Amino acid sequence: MAGEAGGAALGRAAEKLFSLSGLFAVRKPKGPTSAAVLNLLKERLLAEAGVQTKGDKRNQVLKIGHGGTLDSAATGVLVVGIGKGTKMLGTMLAGSKKYTAVGMLGKATDTLDATGKVTEEKPYDQVTKGDLENVLQKFTGEIMQVPPLYSALKKDGKRLSTLMKRGEAVEAKPARPVRVYSLSLQQFQPPLFTLDVECGGGFYVRSLVNDIGKELSTCASVQELTRTKQGPFTLEEHALHEDKWTIDDIAQSLEHCTALLLGEPARKKLKTEHPGETAVICEDK
C-alpha cells in the first residue's frame, strides 16, 4: 500500500509539473551560464516529479526556455517560460530591461568585463563626476552601438564568443541602433562608478561602459552586472531563489505573474530591435 501511495504521489507531482504554463522569473547566480541555470532548474523539477530522463531527453520531456541570456559573470532576473509560456518569451527578449552596472575607469579588457584579459590601461585622474554625468546624456535615447566580440551573436551558426575563445579571427558586427530609456549615475568613487540603465532589446551594457570610457578619453570595463528588472519582473519581488525552485513555488509564482503580465503596459516594439536576432542578442548583457 505504501508503494502504491508513493507512486500516486509521484504521479500527482508529475501531473502538476506538466500542467504548469506561463512565465516566471528566477534569480541567476554569478558563475554559471544562463543555459546551465535552466538545465539545473529542469533537473530539479523532473527529479521532484519523479520523472527519470537520460541526457538531452529532459529537453523533450519538459518544455522550458528563458527570455534573454545573462553573461555567466552577471546576476539577476532570468525570465523563464514553461509549457505554452515558451511562446511568450519573444516579448521578453524585445521588451525593456533594467540593469545596475559597476564600471572601472582606466582598464579595458577583451571581453569588456572583469572576466577578460586586460588589453589597455590609461590614466583616469582627470575624470570628474560632472564629466561622467555629462557624457551619460550622449548615451540616452536611440543610439548606435557596436556589439561586443565576446557575445552570443552568431557567425555561420556559431557564437562569436566560441570563435573568439578558439582564437579564430572575428570581425566586429556593424553598429546598429538600440534604445536607452534611462541612464543615471548612482555612485562615483574613482576608479569605480555605478550606473542604473533601462534599455530595450539587443542592448549591451558592456559596450555602453566601454564607449563611456572612450568618450572620457580613457577606457573602462564592467566589474559587476545585475539585471534588476525584465518586463514586469523585478529582482526583489519576483525572482525565485534556488531554494524556491520547486513545483509548488513555481505554480504560485505563475499565478502571481499572470496577473502581473495582464497589468503590464505594452511597449511598442521598436524596429531597431532586430526581431530576427533577438533569440541570440540578449546575452549581456
Contacts of 183 by beta carbon, 8 Å cutoff, 6+ apart? 136, 139, 140, 195, 196, 197, 198
Is 196 a catalytic site residue?
A: no
16, 62, 148, 200, 239 from 21: Cα distances, Å:
10, 11, 34, 26, 17
Q: What are phi and psi of 6, to 5 degrees?
A: -65, -40
Instruction: Take residue 77 and report the three cell numbers written for it.
Output: 532576473
| DSSP 8-class letter at 175 | P
Exposure of 214 in the CB half-sphere (CA atoms within 13 A): 10
Counts of helices then strands in the chain (DSSP H, E): 9, 14
Q: Out of 71, 113, 211, 284, which one is annotated catalytic?
A: 71
Give catalytic residues, as residue numbers: 71
